Amino acid sequence: MNKDIIQGKWKEIQGKLKQQWGKLTDDEITQMQGNYKELEGALQKKYGYEKDEAKREIDSFIKENKWDE
């Protein structure tokens, strides 16, 4: 479900991604184009998260911003 949320609300989410994870560049965020797996991979690469940890971080980010409602 969160994969659909990321894609569906990508324009809204982009600005918040930069605030949440400042190590992500604007170019990286633009290239993701709402792709959940790419966001997950970028967080693993930039922050050293394990796969499950990246998923938890993304899920938490979605819930905190109330995009899952």
Q: Return the pLDDT at 16.
A: 92
Residue 25 CA: distances (Å) to CA of 64, 67, 68: 22, 22, 25
The DSSP symbol for 49 reads -
Contact at 8 Å (CB) between 64 and 56? no
Q: What predicted TM-score, i.e. pTM, was given to this entire model? A: 0.86
2-40 per-position pLDDT tens digit: 788 888 888 888 989 999 999 999 999 999 999 999 999
Mean pLDDT, rounded, for 37-56: 96
Q: In which band, very low, low, confident or very high, does the pLDDT at 58 lie, cut at 50, 70 and 90?
A: very high
Whether 1 has a pLDDT exceeding 80, the answer reads no
- Distance (Å, whole) CA 6 – CA 32: 10
Q: Which CATH class is domain 2-64?
A: mainly alpha
